[in-house]
């Protein structure tokens, strides 16, 4: 079921976009509706293997764990 106010707002915003962007929106909505995971096969990103040294990766992992695992209640 579609919320009427959301439906109206979506169509208003969609009408302001050029056709190529409207097609992108349609593709995005179809992806959401399908429930399928979207990603890149591992073999396509193998070219990035070895690009970062171990120390940099450990630092990135540390920052992600520290910064992404907490909620800032005043953020919004």
pLDDT value of residue 67: 81
Q: How distant, in Å, are the alpha carbons of 13, 16, 40, 51 from that of 37? A: 26, 29, 10, 26
Percent of the chain with pLDDT over 90: 41
pLDDT value of residue 39: 80
- Smallest CA-to-CA distance from 14 within 5, 4, 24 is with 24
Q: 41-71 pLDDT, tens per residue?
A: 888 888 888 898 999 999 999 988 888 867 7
pLDDT value of residue 16: 96
The pTM of this model reads 0.46
Contact partners, residue 60, CB within 8 Å, separation at least 6: 52
């Amino acid at each position: 079921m579609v919320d009427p106010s959301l439906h109206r707002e979506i169509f208003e915003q969609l009408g302001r976009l050029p056709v190529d962007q409207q097609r992108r929106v349609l593709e995005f909505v179809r992806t959401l509706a399908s429930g399928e995971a979207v990603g890149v096969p591992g073999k396509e990103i193998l070219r990035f293997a070895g690009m970062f040294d171990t120390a940099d990766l450990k630092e990135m992992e540390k920052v992600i764990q520290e910064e992404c695992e907490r909620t800032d209640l005043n953020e919004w």
